[in-house]
Structure 1
C-alpha cells in the first residue's frame, strides 16, 4: 500500500508537471508538434482523472488511518481533486461563453491579440478575428480595435498582422484602429481603454480567455461586454489549462485557502 501510494503520488506530480512544462514551450515551429503536445496534455489529464484519483480514493479507504502515508495521500488528493474539479468547471464555463450573443448596440469591437508566427495569423487568433468580422457585419458603423505589440523579436506587431487579416477579409481599413504596445492581456485592455471612450464596447477573445480577461476588465472599472470564439480542438488542452493556471496564479490565496479549509473538514470528519 505504501509503495502504491508513492507511485501514485509520483504519477500525479508527473501528470501536472509535464503538462505545465508543455505550456511553458510557447513557440513551436510546426503544427505537428502543436497537435502532439496538446494530445499529450489531454492524455495526461485523462490519466489523472480516470486512474490517479480513483487510486487515491482506494488508498484513503484502505491505508491505516492517521499514518504518514495516509496523511500524505490526503494532502496530495485534496490538492489534485480541487485542481481537477476546478479545471472541469473552468472548461464548462468557457464553452458556455460561446452562447453569448453580440449586444444590440455596439460602438467599438476590441479584439485581444495573441502570438503571431512569421507575420501570419495562427488558428486560435484567426477564430477571434473571424468572430469579430461576423459581429461587425451586423454593426458596420462600429470601429474594430486590434490590440497587440511586438513580441519575441518579431518584425511587425500583432495588431498590424491582425489588421491585415481583417482588411483581407473585407473590413474597410478606415474602420480599424491598431493598438501596438500591449504585451499581455492586462495591457491589451488598459491601452485599448485609452482609445475607447464608449461603454458600448464588445471585447472579442477566445472562449478559454474570457474569464481572465473579464476579471481584468472589472478590476479596471471597464463595464464592457464579452463574446468568445470557439478554439480549434487541437489547441484546446494546453490553451484551456494555461489560462486556468493563470487564474490560479492571480487568485492563489483563494486556492490555498480552499485547500486548507477542505483538509480541515476532512480531518474533522475522519
Structure 2
C-alpha cells in the first residue's frame, strides 16, 4: 500500500477522493424547542376542540327562532359596538330588532340590555335602551346592566345583581352557543334567539365573528374554571318587577 494512503485516517481514502464531513447533529436545545412547540400546539388544538364540544353540548336544543322560542319573562340583549353619535352598529341594531319583535309577540315582558356603558364603549347600554324605547318598548320594561363587559360578566351579573333565573339571550347566532352555555353553567336556565340577517349583509364580518368564537371558548373555560367575579354591585329588583316575576 502506498505510504500516502497509510498516512490517511483509517487508511481508506485514496488520492483525489473527496473527504466526507459528517453532518452536525441538531443541538439539544433545538430538539427540546421543537418538541415543546409540538406539545404546545397539540395542547392548544385539544383545548379548542374541547371548548367547541362543550358549547355544542351545552346549547343543544336551546337555540330557537322568534317563531318557536318558549315564552320567557326576560330577554337579555348582549352588547356590541355603538357609534360615537349614539347609534348602534348594524350588528347591535339587529340584536335589538329581535328583542322588539319578541316583545311585540308577547314572548317576553322585559329586556335587560347588558354591555360596556363607559365612554370607551360609546355608552352601549344607554344607546341600546334608547333604541328599544324609540321602537315602542316602554321605558319601564328596559333595564340596563352597564357593567356587562363581556359575555361571562353579563351572565353572572344577570344572576347576582338582577336575580335572573330564566331568560332568553339575544345576539348573533354564532354567539349564542357560548352565551347559553355560560348562563347554564352559572345557574340560569337560558335559551337563545339569534340574528342571521347580518350574515347575509356582512358575510366577511360575520365569518370573523364565527372564527373568533373558537378562541373565545377558551376564555369561557378559564372563566368557568376560575369562577372569576365580575364587578360587584348591590341587588337590583327592577328587572324582575318589570317582568312581573317574584324576586328573591
Common fold: TM-score over 0.5: yes
Aligned pair partner of 1:238 in 203, 208, 219:
208
Asked if 1:168 corresponds to 2:138, the answer is: no
In 1, Cα distance between equivalents of 2:107 and 2:51: 37
Higher relative helix content: 1
Please say if residues 76 and 113 of structure 2, whose CA atoms lie closer than 8 Å, have aligned partners that are also in contact.
Answer: yes
Deviation per residue, 1:72-131 (Å, 9 max, x gap):
xx99997999899999999x999x976545533221111111121213201111111111
Q: For residues 75 and 194 of structure 1, what CA distance do their matches in structure 2 show? A: 39
1:104 corresponds to which residue? 70
How far apart, CA to CA, are the structure 2 residues paired with 1:201 and 1:82? Answer: 32
Kept in 1: contact 2:115–2:124 (CA 8 A): yes
Is contact 1:109–1:145 with CA below 8 Å preserved after alignment?
yes
User: CA, structure 1 residues 78+189, in 2 after alignment: closer, same or farther (shift >3 Å)?
Assistant: closer
Partner of 1:138: 105
The alignment status of 1:219 with 2:185, answered yes or no, reads: yes
Q: Radius of gyration: which is bigger?
A: 2
The reply on whether 1:191 has 2:157 as its aligned counterpart is: yes
Question: TM-score under structure 2 normalisation?
Answer: 0.58
Q: Supply the RMSD in Å over aligned alpha carbons.
A: 3.7
Distance 1:81 1:212, change over 3 A: closer
Distance change >3 Å, CA 221–CA 86, structure 1 → 2: closer
Gaps of 5+ in 1: 1-67, 253-270
Equivalent residues of 1:87, 1:241 under 8 A apart: no
Residues 211-236 of structure 1, C-alpha deviation per residue, up to 9 Å, x if partnerless? 22122112211112222111332421
What's the counterpart of residue 88 of structure 2? 121
Question: 1:227, 1:239 → 2: CA distance?
Answer: 17
Pair 1:122–1:134, CA change in 2 (3 A):
same
Distance 1:78 1:114, change over 3 A: same
Does the alignment pair 1:247 with 2:214? no
Q: What is the rounded CA distance, in whole Å, between the counterparts of 2:51 and 2:103 in structure 1?
A: 32
Tell me which residue corresponds to 1:15: none
Distance 1:182 1:142 in 2: 21
What displacement does 1:177 show? 0.8
Moved over 3 A (4+): 74-90, 96-104, 194-200, 248-252
C-alpha distance in 2 between matches for 1:85 and 1:181? 30
1:10 corresponds in structure 2 to none
Paired with 1:84 and 1:218, the residues of 2 have a C-alpha distance of 20
